[in-house]
Amino acid sequence: MNEDNIKFNFNGNGVIFTRKEFGIIIGLKMKNTLDIPPPPYFNRIRNTYFDHIHKIKNMDVKGVFMHVRRSQLEYEDNLLRLTLIYFLKCGILDKESQVCINLDYLSMVEDLNYFNQYSWGLVSYNATLMSLHKVLDLHHRELNKSSAYSLGGLPLAFQLYIIGRLRPLNADEEYVYKLNKDFPIPPLQKKRAPEHATHSDDVNEDAIVRKNFETHDLITTTET
């Protein structure tokens, strides 16, 4: 596992999931390039909805989003901004209720054009990778002997990709997902990739199958 790809072990077969595939599935920007300057720092959202909280955590974001009153919406698009922060923090980043948020996000969301062009896909990928490193390190050092893990970021992205890549074993019929043509997950296929296959950035090619690289056992996530 490194910053560019993640390798999984499925019954002795290795599957590589790259940053490019993560970006295709999540549908958010993966390159840290912006053609507009960052907006000035604003405290309006924080002062309006979180002024009573010293350290704002994910649970505070959820609480404000779920219980905000119409009378508190000074501007009609404030609910949109709160929704974006809620989805960002509780959907594609940390998820854990006790994690503090980056206060810059509350300022960035004031400028929706800037916010929408930001590389949230890259931020989510890095958060997912950091979370994987953390839980695997705890497991290897036997500080966490549980077989279940609570992952941050968006592990659903590579779970969907792997589901689409796996071939049914010992099956007579061919399993194919009926997916929308715009949906990036490739269908399940009965045919397996040859062992001499080489990796390609093309998400539509057969998954690489090797037995000579370091892999990690399949991680099963649980709801938090």
Q: What pLDDT shows up at residue 107?
A: 92
Edge-to-edge strands, sheet with 216-217: 13-18, 5-10, 216-217
pLDDT along the chain (224 residues), means of 10: 68 76 86 77 90 91 90 84 92 84 92 90 89 72 62 76 55 39 43 44 36 41 42
User: Residue 26 and residue 183: Cα distance in Å, rounded?
Assistant: 11
User: Model's pTM, two decimal places?
Assistant: 0.64
Q: What pLDDT shows up at residue 216?
A: 41
Residue-range domain boundaries for the chain = 5-28+125-217, 44-117
User: Residue 209 and residue 164: Cα distance in Å, rounded?
Assistant: 15
Q: What pLDDT shows up at residue 135?
A: 74
